[in-house]
Amino acid sequence: MTTDTTPKDTAPAAPTPGQTVLDARGVTMRFGGLTAVRNVDLTVNSGEIVGLIGPNGAGKTTFFNCLTGLYIPTEGEVRYKGKVLPAKSFKVTAAGIARTFQNIRLFANMTVLENVLVGRHTRTKEGLWSALLRGPGFHKAEATSRDRAMELLKFIGLEKKAEHLARNLPYGEQRKLEIARALASEPGLLLLDEPTAGMNPQETRATEELVFAIRDMGIAVLVIEHDMRFIFNLCDRVAVLVQGEKLVEGSSEVVQGDERVIAAYLGEPFEDAPGAKEVAEVEAAEANAATQTDAAPRKENDR
């Protein structure tokens, strides 16, 4: 059923053997002559945190866009809990998939609470128009929504800033608020696109805890991230995309040890990877040598 290429002898410890939440098969996305994603299969099961890694331009965000109805894949099929996804992103959210974006997309001039309330509108019977027109039933629904939104703000630790404008939050808190807004649609699957980008190590650590807590709430998570320590700590399973194709998939241990993965990242050393320090030293020495050469002009450069 899955196309997991995990070697049998090193199968990851499955947290809770669950149902397949996300089942993407043969997903291909072309933009004109460019194939950004090529024939990718990926499943996410309930109770799982799955990582998606790969060098810049590998097609990770494009793949996310194919899972959320932002793009309609050129080929392939995406199912959520057995049903083929609708081709509109708001319908995908209503079906149960929520996401955050690589570049934060908040309503900067709305309050923190209002941003979370916006995330709830796919879940309230009244819907967005009723909310805007203050229709009958709106006030009751609003009270329930506010309670839930405050609960979520508490969950991410921003309840004291509920009335602050989103744009006044520090960067790390804006990222958290995006997660709260995504959770407000009561998803069964959460997609996080580089949730720790720009965060300091403490914030990254806190985000790790937050993602575990989200998983423990019964929400499956698929996460794109460049911070390898974060990914390998967090994920039950990791898939590696390189030039649009899935190169390897398996447990953190399997993926970390795979030479193809290491080769794919050459030129983009892992943060904290063994060797990164040495590479930096060599680069510094080379830069130093170059400066000295420049200081003594060579004949062929004179004209």
Ligand X SMILES: Nc1ncnc2c1ncn2[C@@H]1O[C@H](COP(=O)(O)OP(=O)(O)O)[C@@H](O)[C@H]1O
Among 47, 59, 96, 188, binds ligand X (CB under 6 A): 59
Which residue is at the shortest CB distance from Mg ion? 61
**According to CB under 6 A, which residues from 2 to 41 bind ligand X?**
31, 34, 36
Q: Which stretch in 49-57, 74-82, 115-123, 207-215 sits in contact with ligand X by CB under 6 A?
A: 49-57
Q: Which neighbouring-strand residues pair with 181? A: none
Q: Is residue 57 part of the contact set for ligand X (CB under 6 A)?
A: yes
Nearest-approach distance from CB 37 to ligand X, in angstroms:
7
Q: What are the percentages of helix, strand and coil residues in the chain, rounded to 5?
A: 45, 20, 35
Q: Is residue 68 part of the contact set for Mg ion (CB under 5 A)?
A: no
Q: Is residue 61 part of the contact set for ligand X (CB under 6 A)?
A: yes
Q: Is residue 60 part of the contact set for ligand X (CB under 6 A)?
A: yes
251 interacts with, out of Mg ion, ligand X, none, CB within 5 to 8 A per kind: none
Among 43, 46, 62, 145, binds ligand X (CB under 6 A): 62
Nearest-approach distance from CB 41 to ligand X, in angstroms:
17
Nearest-approach distance from CB 58 to ligand X, in angstroms:
4
**What's phi and psi for 196, nearest 5 deg?**
-105, 10
Q: Which stretch in 60-68, 105-113, 211-219, 229-237 sits in contact with ligand X by CB under 6 A?
A: 60-68
Q: Is residue 291 part of the contact set for ligand X (CB under 6 A)?
A: no
Q: Which two tokens stand for residue 182?
A: 């995504």
Q: Which stretch in 68-76, 97-105, 203-211, 238-246 sits in contact with Mg ion by CB under 5 A?
A: 97-105
> By rule CB under 5 A, what count of residues binds Mg ion?
3
DSSP secondary structure letters along 69-82: TSS--SEEEEEETT
Q: Which two tokens stand for residue 210?
A: 């937050």
Neighbours of 280 (CB within 10 A): 11
Spell out the residues 6+ positions from residue 220 whose beta carbon is closer than 8 angstroms to its own. 18, 21, 22, 44, 45, 46, 47, 48, 49, 50, 188, 189, 190
Nearest-approach distance from CB 277 to ligand X, in angstroms:
25
End-to-end CA separation in angstroms for the chain = 68
Nearest-approach distance from CB 218 to ligand X, in angstroms:
28
Q: Which two tokens stand for residue 256?
A: 């970390």
**What's phi and psi for 294, nearest 5 deg?**
-60, -35
Q: Which is nearer to Mg ion, 52 or 141 (CB)?
A: 52
Q: Which is nearer to Mg ion, 6 or 102 (CB)?
A: 102
Q: Is residue 72 part of the contact set for ligand X (CB under 6 A)?
A: no
Q: Is 30 helix (H, G, I), strand (E, B) or coil?
A: strand
Among 43, 45, 46, 61, binds Mg ion (CB under 5 A): 61
Sign of CA dihedral 253, 254, 255, 261: positive
Q: Which two tokens stand for residue 270?
A: 């892992």
Nearest-approach distance from CB 248 to Mg ion, in angstroms:
19
Q: Which neighbouring-strand residues pair with 98? A: 190
CA distance 73 to 28: 6
Q: Which is nearer to ligand X, 61 or 252 (CB)?
A: 61
Distances (CA, A) of 83 to 99, 264, 265, 275: 19, 34, 35, 45
Alpha-carbon 201 to chain mean position: 18
Q: Which is nearer to ligand X, 34 or 108 (CB)?
A: 34
Residues that bind Mg ion (CB under 5 A): 60-61, 102
